[in-house]
């Protein structure tokens, strides 16, 4: 008798590459476009080898002109193709904000549904690799503010492997934020899982005392914090948002209804952040489920430093999360 199919061990980077390779193989209208995606193999080596496999008509190196090649991606999507546009870092996506916000996000609405923009934009996000202020910020919360976009933040190998297919099947623009620190992370991929949805958050660890709500590279930090809290007898539930727009508040509220305390961990700046939006929605729709104030752990409100010790101090840490959760469960 054949036993169960063994789990596949791979890096987050390889999961992203396999997702792109599958998309290119399955749909001849799909192509990849961006800076250094071809001969160089991608700034983070995600597209390494794909130029040799699929050729220069499917893997297209572009000039350093985010507004230009993102606009080409919008036009290609309108014309019936399935472009995957890679922007090297989310900081650089601001150069293409007009194309993303005023074109991709609005054309379906402004045409009364006559035009769809099935565009996928992948971009690296976050700090932790000493790339300084112009390459290290987390701007996904800004894009989660914009109607007409779906905003995804895969934090696991499984999501990195399967979210792209769901994004390409969406008739509207989808932004995928891949955290730079996660590219080297390894995880087990269940061969039995062949798809994930891009609509719902996921409970990554069950608990009863406090909810840790997060996404992206803050997920492994929250899981480590939950393990540390367990040593104190505190059972933390960890919620991976995964989808930043539209937010799955039902899953968050259900968790808070179980634990009655919540810490929101967001690598963005606290002011005007995604964490602020979640806190406001909890106040509006789940206030009486809370037995303590909402706490937030965010990046320090400074441009991201280059020096390693300063960058580490600027980012949310496992200890920050542990202290915030412990203060709610065991107030002094």
Domain positions in the chain: 9-189, 202-329
Portion of the chain with pLDDT greater than 70, in percent: 98
Give the Å distances, CA to CA, from 251 to 59, 105, 240, 259. 38, 26, 10, 13
The H-assigned helical ranges of 190-316 are 218-230, 249-259, 274-285, 308-314
- The answer to whether residue 332 scores a pLDDT higher than 70 is no
The pLDDT of 66-72, averaged and rounded, is: 97
The pLDDT of 183-200, averaged and rounded, is: 94
pTM of the predicted structure, to 2 decimals? 0.95
Contact (CB, 8 A) for 39 and 201: no
Task: Note the Cα 134 to chain centre separation in Å.
Answer: 19
Q: Which residues of 157-261 form beta strands (DSSP E)?
A: 174-179, 186-189, 202-205, 210-214, 236-240, 243-245
Query: 177 phi and psi, to 5 degrees?
Result: -105, 115
- The answer to whether residue 8 scores a pLDDT higher than 50 is yes
The pLDDT of 91-97, averaged and rounded, is: 96
The pLDDT of 25-37, averaged and rounded, is: 97
At residue 305, the pLDDT reads: 95
- The answer to whether residue 139 scores a pLDDT higher than 80 is yes
Q: Tell me if 9-189 shares its fold with 202-329.
A: yes
Fold of 9-189: Rossmann fold (3.40.50)
- The answer to whether residue 104 scores a pLDDT higher than 90 is yes
Instruction: Based on the residue annotation, tell me whether 66 is a catalytic residue of this protein.
Output: yes
Contact (CB, 8 A) for 169 and 30: no
pLDDT mean across residues, the chain:
96
- The answer to whether residue 330 scores a pLDDT higher than 80 is no
Fold of 202-329: Rossmann fold (3.40.50)
Question: Which among 14, 35, 66, 277 is annotated as catalytic?
Answer: 66
Instruction: Based on the residue annotation, tell me whether 53 is a catalytic residue of this protein.
Output: no
The candidate with the shortest Cα–Cα distance to 152, out of 215, 248, 243, is: 243
Question: Which among 14, 35, 86, 135 is annotated as catalytic?
Answer: 135
Give the Å distances, CA to CA, from 299 to 94, 265, 320. 20, 9, 11
The pLDDT of 98-112, averaged and rounded, is: 97
At residue 33, the pLDDT reads: 98
269-298 pLDDT, tens digit each: 999 999 999 999 999 999 999 999 999 999
- The answer to whether residue 86 scores a pLDDT higher than 90 is yes
At residue 6, the pLDDT reads: 85
């Amino acid at each position: 008798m054949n036993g169960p199919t063994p789990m596949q061990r791979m890096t987050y980077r390889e999961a992203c590459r396999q997702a792109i390779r599958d998309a290119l193989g399955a749909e001849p209208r799909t192509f990849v476009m961006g800076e250094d995606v071809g001969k160089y193999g991608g700034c983070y080596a995600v597209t390494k080898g794909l130029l040799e496999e699929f050729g220069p008509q499917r893997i297209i190196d572009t000039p350093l002109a985010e507004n230009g090649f993102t606009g080409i991606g919008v036009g290609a999507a309108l014309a019936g193709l399935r472009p995957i546009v890679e922007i090297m870092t989310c900081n650089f996506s601001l150069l293409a904000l007009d194309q993303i916000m005023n074109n991709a996000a609005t054309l379906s609405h402004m045409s009364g549904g006559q035009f769809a923009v099935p565009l996928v934009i992948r971009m690296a996000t976050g700090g932790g690799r000493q790339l300084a202020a112009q390459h290290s910020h987390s701007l996904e919360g800004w894009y989660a503010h914009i109607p007409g976009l779906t905003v995804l933040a895969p934090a696991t190998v499984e999501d990195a492997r399967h979210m792209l297919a769901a994004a390409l099947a969406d008739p509207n623009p989808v932004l995928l934020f891949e955290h730079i620190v996660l590219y080297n992370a390894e995880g087990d991929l269940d061969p039995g899982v062949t798809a994930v949805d891009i609509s719902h958050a996921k409970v990554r660890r069950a608990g009863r005392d406090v909810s840790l709500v997060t996404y992206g590279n803050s997920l492994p930090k929250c899981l480590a914090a939950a393990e540390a809290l367990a040593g104190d007898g505190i059972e933390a539930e960890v919620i991976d948002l995964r989808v930043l727009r539209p937010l799955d508040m039902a899953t968050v509220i259900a968790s808070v209804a179980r634990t009655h305390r919540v810490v929101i961990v967001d690598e963005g700046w606290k002011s005007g952040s995604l964490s602020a939006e979640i806190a406001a929605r909890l106040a509006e729709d789940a206030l009486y489920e809370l037995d303590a104030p909402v706490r937030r752990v965010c990046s320090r409100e400074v441009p991201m430093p280059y020096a390693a010790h300063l960058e580490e101090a600027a980012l949310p840490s496992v200890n920050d999360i542990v202290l915030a959760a412990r203060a709610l469960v065991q107030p002094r």
